[in-house]
Amino acid sequence: MRDKIILLVEDNPDDEALTLRALKKNDFENEVVVARDGAQALDYLFATGEHEEHAAGVVPQLVLLDLKLPRVDGLEVLRRIRADERTRLLPVVILTSSREQRDLVEGYGCGANSYIRKPVDFGQFVEAVRQLGLYWLVLNETPLAGV
């Protein structure tokens, strides 16, 4: 499980720290790559821009995607992931504080695998991350696993 990379796309430093802390508290030792806006996430996924030295064939096991991002918003990141043959099957979990029904519907419409609202309570957040990690990093098998 340690070799499975998580791409965390989060612009809020507090939410980034909270997510990293929750992963650590649940003993997930996966490498976590953090992109602080949608453009950085796309650069990482497609080995362009600041990540052009990154191995183009290295795809994360899971993307945790916030919606409200600078430069390129989360829904556009999701559209581009689904539009590209290299990443169209990549599991993407929207992890957001948005309570807007429109975001939920559009997220699934763009191909999100799951939509999780960030709990405000840290204990609940840690439990949500535990369940998320258990399912997506341990139990779930993806076509990308053998690539």
Asked whether residue 113 is assigned to any structural domain, the reply reads yes
What pLDDT, on the 0 to 100 scale, is given for residue 17?
Answer: 92
State the total domains in the chain: 1
Residue 19 covered by a domain: yes
2 in a structural domain: no
CATH number at 35 reads 3.40.50.2300
In a domain, 5, yes or no: no
Residue 3 belongs to a domain: no
The per-residue b/e assignment along 132-147, b for 16 or more CB within 10 angstroms, e otherwise, is: bbeebbeeeebeeeee
At 36, the pLDDT band (50, 70, 90 cuts) reads very high
pLDDT tens-digit readout, 41-88: 999 999 887 767 766 667 898 999 999 999 999 999 999 999 999 899
Domain residue limits at 68: 10-138
Q: Number of C-alpha atoms within 13 angstroms, CB side, residue 15? A: 21
